[in-house]
Structure 1
Amino acid sequence: MGSTGSASDGNSMSGTAGAAGEGAPGTGRADYEEWVTLNGDRQNIAVLSEDVSNPVILFVHGGPGICDRHWVRHYQSGLAKDYTLVFWDQRGSGKSYTKAVKQSVPQVEQYIQDAKALVEYLCEKFGQDKIVVAGHSWGTVIGVPLVQRYPQHIAAYISQGQVVNGPENERISYEFCLREAKAAGDEKAIAALEGNGPVEGVYPSAKAMRAQRDCLVRYGGSDYHDRSGLVPSLLIPLVKMEGYKLTDIPKYVAGALYLSDVMWPQVVECDYDASARALGVPVLMTVGRHDYNTPFELAEAWFSSLEVPYKEIVWFDDSAHSPIKEEPEKWGRAVEAFLEKVVQR
């Protein structure tokens, strides 16, 4: 694994700004993109805020490689009235993708250290001691150890699509798809799934995993209402929503395909039932009642025994994996109500 940088280990982290729009640090409105160098890797962030003196929320996207600034911005821009929203395209993802990411297999630890470096940079940039971290799916694989190790920089943790135990996650998700396919008499899906289940969370091929994820979307375990299939559900919002240009899409796709393939064995190694039984910051867990991408029962069980200074769980009965966009108004209200209790202004 390559070198990592942080304030505590003596290596340096630098944030270098590219062409930015309006909204310099201080006070006032901000809506711009910026390039930062995190542990030697140039990565893209975007900032949206009505007043950059407000508390910062860093959104840590899923995948690996599935950036979400377009639909977080589309559905949750109202949060920018009272908070400074930061969207981060992680190493090798979205706008941050370069072919250099393929020179070696990225490591989960690199992403944790990139996140730490970015948190430190944002604290300094916006003059804040702590920021809020909001992780989604793969973003929770980064978010939990980030919060666990570096609570001095984190005001609160917001979880959505929480990954808890990789092998159990995939077993339950796969069994849901096979059960639904059989109930629907979907012979094509049954043929793609049978004999291609995960072993310790890892599918026999990238094709087998994509087949399972496509079934997951079509049977409502990923998005409860949008059942158009894996590819349309990812690509159509990229084209229709603000955040990415058409010229960004090939990089987005390349990063998502590569990272989700080569990093998956690492992703499913996580077992937060064993390694993360306590966190030192307030936690809000937002859970879709129909989530079989990161099965809701695993998240609920982990949360119930999690030791934290303060915690809330909010259920979304009309959502699966992404309440932030499936029930956006309710998700936004839940976040605002939680942060009003735990974040000092």
Structure 2
Amino acid sequence: MRGAGDAPSEAPLVSPVRPPLRGLLKIRGSCWGQADYNRPATAVALRRSKLARALAAAHSARGCSRGAPAQTREGGPMGSTGSASDGNSMSGTAGAAGEGAPGTGRADYEEWVTLNGDRQNIAVLSEDVSNPVILFVHGGPGICDRHWVRHYQSGLAKDYTLVFWDQRGSGKSYTKAVKQSVPQVEQYIQDAKALVEYLCEKFGQDKIVVAGHSWGTVIGVPLVQRYPQHIAAYISQGQVVNGPENERISYEFCLREAKAAGDEKAIAALEGNGPVEGVYPSAKAMRAQRDCLVRYGGSDYHDRSGLVPSLLIPLVKMEGYKLTDIPKYVAGALYLSDVMWPQVVECDYDASARALGVPVLMTVGRHDYNTPFELAEAWFSSLEVPYKEIVWFDDSAHSPIKEEPEKWGRAVEAFLEKVVQR
């Protein structure tokens, strides 16, 4: 994995984009298309398309009043180095949302925090904020998941304080400033560290639980490995282990399934466009492979609608994001998945993470070919940890948290009851 580059200086904040619905997206064929990252709000409309009608119907069913928590708050600056004046240090207070001290009672709000000079959005959901904290670290890069984690796993908020984080350049945290330099994996690890420290202080806890999904495991493993003093336990799903092997197996699955189905269009898109050391020859080639992965059940075993609808329709149907947030979500996902991918696939945790200092729960979909299950199983079997469990989900692929939500929630609760002190 590449080391960190120079941390970018704090960029001026920009106002939220508020486009009309017709200007949300730009899609060509079965892929995202060629994006104008600088103008997400003026992207070509989806008018007259089936997906546009589906989005409109979902929006109507949800109702315009839903989609975001009632409160938005501003937290203090934090980070691992620097001084308060440069925006890169841990604030002396827990931030406005915490009123300077931990409390009790229900919470459902958004909060802006500054992590290593970058203003980022988090959301908190809890029936009692004195309960242990679970920080969800989303996939991508750039594919935030607070909407469907809230939708499928809100029951966990009865006994835990759930924190959803839109990472640097992702979702509600997206601004054009992210393109001033190519973000580095190390920046995300340090952002996560700063956020963990902030949450420990804010909620008066020594340690919190980290739950990583897909790209979130690329952040989560080194976070847990380096800073176990802040981590009570690590929950993994869609575990990335070896980037080049990951993409080789995933690509071969798609090509094999396309040939078995006689899908000439998919075969043409895939053949000659496979990954070399995990990197595809173009963004278009990678998105074509990911679209096939969805349509053949290797990403979600049940939703085989294709890459675009599988990502966008839940954004509209579920609470967590306003329609005006979606252009930022799309712009961040497009940009980060393109420019950061060579770094993402450099990870090799078979070599660099053979031991972790905290209890580990690995949740694995039996049909996962996004982050192939066999790599996760092999890594887990040799992983040295104080305590570990693996739970298989026979009716899931990449995201058991939403494909088999009741079973996933029960597995998490049972694991945490064993390893987390209250």
TM-score, normalised with respect to structure 2: 0.78
Alignment CA distance shift 1:14-1:248 (3 Å): farther
Matched ranges for 1:146-161 at <5 A: 146-161=223-238
1:283-332 per-residue CA deviation (whole Å, 9 max, x = no partner) reads 00000000000000000000000000000000000000000000000000
Alignment correspondent of 1:10: 87
1:9-45 per-residue CA deviation (whole Å, 9 max, x = no partner) reads 9961349999969998400000000000000000000
Alignment CA distance shift 1:163-1:252 (3 Å): same
Alignment correspondent of 1:88: 165
Alignment correspondent of 1:266: 343
Q: Please state how far the C-alpha of 1:240 moved relative to its aligned partner.
A: 0.4
Question: Does the 8 A contact of 2:95 with 2:202 survive in 1?
Answer: no
- SS of 1:142's equivalent in the other structure is helix
The separation in 1 between residues aligned to 2:186 and 2:85, in whole angstroms, is: 16
1:150-209 per-residue CA deviation (whole Å, 9 max, x = no partner) reads 000000000000000000000000000000000000000000000000000000000000
- SS of 2:191's equivalent in the other structure is helix
The separation in 2 between residues aligned to 1:23 and 1:226, in whole angstroms, is: 44
- SS of 2:93's equivalent in the other structure is coil
The separation in 2 between residues aligned to 1:222 and 1:39, in whole angstroms, is: 33
Question: Does the 8 A contact of 2:224 with 2:357 survive in 1?
Answer: yes
Question: Does the 8 A contact of 1:22 with 1:29 survive in 2?
Answer: no
Question: Does the 8 A contact of 1:65 with 1:93 survive in 2?
Answer: yes
The separation in 1 between residues aligned to 2:119 and 2:86, in whole angstroms, is: 20
Q: Please state how far the C-alpha of 1:8 moved relative to its aligned partner.
A: 18
- SS of 1:195's equivalent in the other structure is coil
The separation in 2 between residues aligned to 1:8 and 1:322, in whole angstroms, is: 41
Alignment correspondent of 1:41: 118
Question: Does the 8 A contact of 2:79 with 2:191 survive in 1?
Answer: no
Alignment correspondent of 2:258: 181
Unaligned runs of 5+ in 1: none
Alignment CA distance shift 1:190-1:76 (3 Å): same
Question: Does the 8 A contact of 1:91 with 1:111 survive in 2?
Answer: yes
Q: 2:135 aligns with which of 58, 61, 84?
A: 58
1:229-274 per-residue CA deviation (whole Å, 9 max, x = no partner) reads 0000000000000000000000000000000000000000000000
Alignment correspondent of 1:292: 369
Alignment CA distance shift 1:228-1:150 (3 Å): same
Question: Does the 8 A contact of 2:367 with 2:395 survive in 1?
Answer: yes
The separation in 1 between residues aligned to 2:356 and 2:86, in whole angstroms, is: 22
Question: Does the 8 A contact of 1:4 with 1:110 survive in 2?
Answer: no
- SS of 1:314's equivalent in the other structure is strand
Task: State yes or no: 1:170 paired with 2:247.
Answer: yes
The separation in 2 between residues aligned to 1:280 and 1:21, in whole angstroms, is: 29
The separation in 2 between residues aligned to 1:272 and 1:110, in whole angstroms, is: 18
Q: Please state how far the C-alpha of 1:6 moved relative to its aligned partner.
A: 11
Question: Does the 8 A contact of 1:23 with 1:30 survive in 2?
Answer: no
- SS of 2:86's equivalent in the other structure is coil
1:75-128 per-residue CA deviation (whole Å, 9 max, x = no partner) reads 000000000000000000000000000000000000000000000000000000
The separation in 1 between residues aligned to 2:252 and 2:180, in whole angstroms, is: 35
Alignment CA distance shift 1:87-1:180 (3 Å): same
Question: Does the 8 A contact of 1:29 with 1:50 survive in 2?
Answer: yes
TM-score, normalised with respect to structure 1: 0.96
Alignment CA distance shift 1:314-1:323 (3 Å): same
Q: How many residues align?
A: 345
Alignment CA distance shift 1:229-1:123 (3 Å): same
Task: State yes or no: 1:315 paired with 2:392.
Answer: yes
Question: Does the 8 A contact of 2:132 with 2:160 survive in 1?
Answer: yes
- Radius of gyration: which is bigger? 2
The separation in 2 between residues aligned to 1:275 and 1:285, in whole angstroms, is: 18
The separation in 1 between residues aligned to 2:95 and 2:198, in whole angstroms, is: 15
The separation in 2 between residues aligned to 1:163 and 1:15, in whole angstroms, is: 35
Question: Does the 8 A contact of 2:298 with 2:367 survive in 1?
Answer: yes
Work out the percentage of aligned pairs sharing the same amino acid. Answer: 100
Alignment CA distance shift 1:4-1:164 (3 Å): farther
1:211-246 per-residue CA deviation (whole Å, 9 max, x = no partner) reads 000000000000000000000000000000000000
Task: State yes or no: 1:198 paired with 2:275.
Answer: yes
Alignment correspondent of 1:217: 294
Alignment CA distance shift 1:17-1:250 (3 Å): farther
Alignment correspondent of 2:188: 111
Question: Does the 8 A contact of 2:242 with 2:346 survive in 1?
Answer: yes
Unaligned runs of 5+ in 2: 1-77
Question: Does the 8 A contact of 2:242 with 2:348 survive in 1?
Answer: yes
Question: Does the 8 A contact of 2:367 with 2:398 survive in 1?
Answer: yes
